[in-house]
Copies of this chain bind each other. A is one copy, B any other.
Amino acid sequence: MKKTAEPETYRNKAVLITGGLGFLGSNLARRLVGLGAKVTLADSLIPEYGGNRANIADIKSRVEVNIADVRDPHAMSHLVRGQDFLFNLAGQTSHLDSMTDPHTDLEINCRAQLSILEACRRENPSIRVVFAGTRQIYGKPDHLPVDENHLLRPTDVNGINKMAGEWYHILYSRVYGIRACSLRLTNTYGPGMRIKDARQTFLGIWIRKVLEGQPFEIWEGGQRRDFTYVDDCVEAMLLAASHPEAEGEIFNLGGCEVVTLKETGDLLCQLEPKARYEQRSFPADRKAIDIGDFYADFSKIRNRLGWSPQVDLRTGLKKTLDYYRKHLPEYL
């Protein structure tokens, strides 16, 4: 049984989304606008990150857009005031960028998170906060599927900083009563994701290559993964923000099925006749931080909040391809 957020929960509520012009933020905004919320999107629009005005073309008259960087503590302090909910989704997501420029990753994924939580504590302690965590912080799994009691052993600077950023949220919940929780997302995909390059997800660059008639690259191919379609992820965020049982907690998300990268590539080829791929071995710089097979045990959020993924990979990839067939130029 799918559980959805109560329609009344968000009506006329003030909602701030950091990273609001990005992939997750814009899809969440669309859903919240539909539920009658008053939505403010904060985004830095840094070109290497996920923000893209095309993501909100259809709802731009129904949301407030505020261009600001989460590293700006004064802007954040102002923006959190009067909000009922904060979906704290802004982040540096590129693993490789975190290794070549670790300090920028720290500024965004650690320091800014602490500033945002300090702002909540001072300006708006009754706000409800959902943080976009990542399965990346588990590192290479000891066992599969990976549940929330698995050790955290991040394999790149991004993972370490996201781990710290998540724990600031949990700490501010436990010590100061800020009602915050974290969702550890795993390979979220769908319309609005960055496809210019692989900074957000490798599926982005795959889709781009497919639609440009170029072969995409599969590194190795046997690695197993789970994928969450963005609508399912949005639903989890809405449930987590409104559910008292979520406060101070961490939840894995997951997918309908576990597939290998090669199977995922084959599925794309079935959905788009011009798709083709090349298999190759890992580039050296990726091999050092690769984690092998990964898929998540999401029974905690299923049991506590009633969430489970509804969109299978075939359906999700089809919707994603359909979207980018129409909107490709806006994402290049």
- Identify the A interface with B (CB < 8 A): 99, 102-103, 106, 110-111, 114-115, 118, 149, 151-157, 160-161, 163-164, 167-168, 170-171, 174-175, 288-289
A160-B155 in contact (CB<8A): no
A161-B160 in contact (CB<8A): no
Output the residue of A115, A149, A164 with the most chain B CB within 10 A: A164
Query: Which of B106, B118, B156, B288 interacts with A111 by CB under 8 Å?
Result: B106
**Measured CA separation A157–B155 after assembly (Å):** 22
**Measured CA separation A238–B155 after assembly (Å):** 27
Copies of this chain per assembly: 2
Q: Which residues of B contact A110 (CB under 8 A)?
A: 106, 110, 164
**Measured CA separation A110–B151 after assembly (Å):** 20
**Measured CA separation A163–B171 after assembly (Å):** 13
Given A99-B175, A152-B152, A153-B167, 6 extra CB contacts under 8 A: A102-B114, A103-B111, A103-B115, A151-B151, A160-B171, A163-B163
A106-B114 in contact (CB<8A): yes
Q: Which residues of B contact A118 (CB under 8 A)?
A: 102
Nearest-CB distance from A125 to chain B (Å)? 15
**Measured CA separation A120–B288 after assembly (Å):** 19
B152-A174 in contact (CB<8A): no
A160-B167 in contact (CB<8A): yes
Query: Which of B99, B102, B151, B156 interacts with A149 by CB under 8 Å?
Result: B151
Nearest-CB distance from A59 to chain B (Å)? 36
Q: Which residues of B contact A152 (CB under 8 A)?
A: 151-152
**Measured CA separation A113–B81 after assembly (Å):** 34
B174-A155 in contact (CB<8A): yes
B160-A164 in contact (CB<8A): yes
A171-B156 in contact (CB<8A): yes
B175-A154 in contact (CB<8A): no
- Sort A-B residue pairs by CB-CB distance and give the 3 closest, nearest first: A164-B164, A160-B167, A175-B288
Q: Which residues of B contact A157 (CB under 8 A)?
A: 114, 168, 171
Q: Which residues of B contact A151 (CB under 8 A)?
A: 149, 151-152
Nearest-CB distance from A2 to chain B (Å)? 31
Q: Which residues of B contact A170 (CB under 8 A)?
A: 153
**Measured CA separation A86–B106 after assembly (Å):** 23
Given A106-B114, A110-B110: A167 in contact with B149 (beta carbons within 8 A): no
Q: Which residues of B contact A155 (CB under 8 A)?
A: 171, 174-175
Q: Which residues of B contact A154 (CB under 8 A)?
A: 167, 171
**Measured CA separation A153–B164 after assembly (Å):** 11
Query: Which of B99, B103, B175, B289 interacts with A156 by CB under 8 Å?
Result: B175
